Amino acid sequence: MQRFDRVIVADWSASSTLSPARPSADAIWLGSIDATGAQSTYHRSRGSAEAALSLAIENALVNGQSLLIGCDFPMGYPKGFAARLTGTASARAVWAWLAEHIEDAPNNGNNRFQIAAQINRQFATATSKGPFWGRPASLNLPDLPPTKSINYNVLTLPERREVETLVPRAQPVWKLYTTGAAGSQGLIGQPMIHRLSQRHGTAVWPFDNPAQITLAEVYPSLIAAAVTADPASVKDEAQVRLLAEALFSLSQQNLLAPLLDTSPCAEEGWILGAGHTAALLGALS
């Protein structure tokens, strides 16, 4: 599947409280585009956003339409993590494990820091704590250091995934707190990927080949130049809208194939569009 009838891009948030009622930055935004046009929606909670994505998938399945959903959070961890956490070298096993352990309330209250500390205890050695780091100073979690003080060589885990050599601006998946805490978004987002991927006809690229419904990891900062030039008052809204437009444009021109030309990966995953910034920006010109 290289041509999609609709594209949705989700800018995620790991916030522990509801986002402001007034559309704001650092919240959840969904940018959507199809043949009828583009729109952006703001969501105060992850539950609301997941419900919207579930409805979009249901509508696409009922109407026989193809749908690409890009989510702005890591969908996998560096090689070696999955097998040591779950016994299986597969991102899917991690999604299922997190779906069982992460608690995420309707008001966005969640236990991501506590679960990260639990994982760290399993990975710790005599000379290094486990791989995750970053937390509020108010949380008493000795197994989760507030700043990066991890020896990844001792843990025999890479600090970064292979795709992040192409996208060095991407934050490490282990970082859970302060600006660019991609790790928190991953811990909170992957349980949703587990749930959405259970639907018939749904694939998660690059772990699966694209299908009628395809979920993929995205990184809107790939199109930072276009976002900077956009007049939108909230950068997050511009990011999802423009990336959705770029992916949809490439799809309609049958030009998505190079972006999807990555061998299926059982563990680390990949960022859709990594190494193809020029094509994405060109699709917006």
Summarised one tens digit per residue, pLDDT across range 27-44 is 999 999 999 999 999 999
Token pair belonging to 19? 């986002």
Task: Give the model's pLDDT for residue 264.
Answer: 73
Token pair belonging to 180? 């660019």
Task: Give the model's pLDDT for residue 2.
Answer: 76
Task: Give the model's pLDDT for residue 180.
Answer: 86
Task: Give the model's pLDDT for residue 172.
Answer: 94
Q: What are the backbone dihedrals phi and psi of residue 257, each rounded to the nearest 5 degrees, phi first? A: -50, -45
- Other CB atoms within 10 A of residue 19 CB: 21
Q: What is the CA radius of gyration of the chain?
A: 18
| Length of the chain, in residues | 285
Task: Give the model's pLDDT for residue 122.
Answer: 96
- Other CB atoms within 10 A of residue 26 CB: 14
Q: Which of these ranges, 156-170, 237-251, 260-274, has the smallest mean pLDDT?
A: 260-274
Task: Give the model's pLDDT for residue 243.
Answer: 98
For residue 113, the number of C-alpha atoms closer than 13 Å in the C-beta half-sphere is 20
Token pair belonging to 278? 């020029």
Task: Give the model's pLDDT for residue 233.
Answer: 85
Token pair belonging to 199? 């639907």
Calculate mean pLDDT across residues 178-201.
95
Prior bond of 231 cis (ω within 30°): no
Question: Which pLDDT tens digit goes with each residue over 209-218?
Answer: 999 999 999 9
Q: Angle, nearest 10°, between helix axes 91-101 and 182-196? A: 100
Question: What average pLDDT is seen over the chain?
Answer: 96
Sheet containing 202-204, strands listed edge to edge, beginning at the edge strand earlier in sequence = 37-43, 28-34, 6-11, 67-71, 213-217, 202-204
Query: Percent of the chain, pLDDT > 90?
Result: 95
* 285 against 185, higher pLDDT: 185
Note if the pTM is more than 0.95: yes
Q: Which residues pair with 71 in a beta bridge?
A: 10, 217
End-to-end CA distance of the chain: 25
Task: Give the model's pLDDT for residue 194.
Answer: 98
pLDDT confidence band for 1 (50 / 70 / 90): low
Four-residue CA torsion sign, 27, 277, 133, 98: positive
Q: Which of these ranges, 5-19, 26-40, 90-104, 263-277, has the smallest mean pLDDT?
A: 263-277
Task: Give the model's pLDDT for residue 81.
Answer: 98
Distance of alpha carbon 31 from alpha carbon 39, whole angstroms: 6
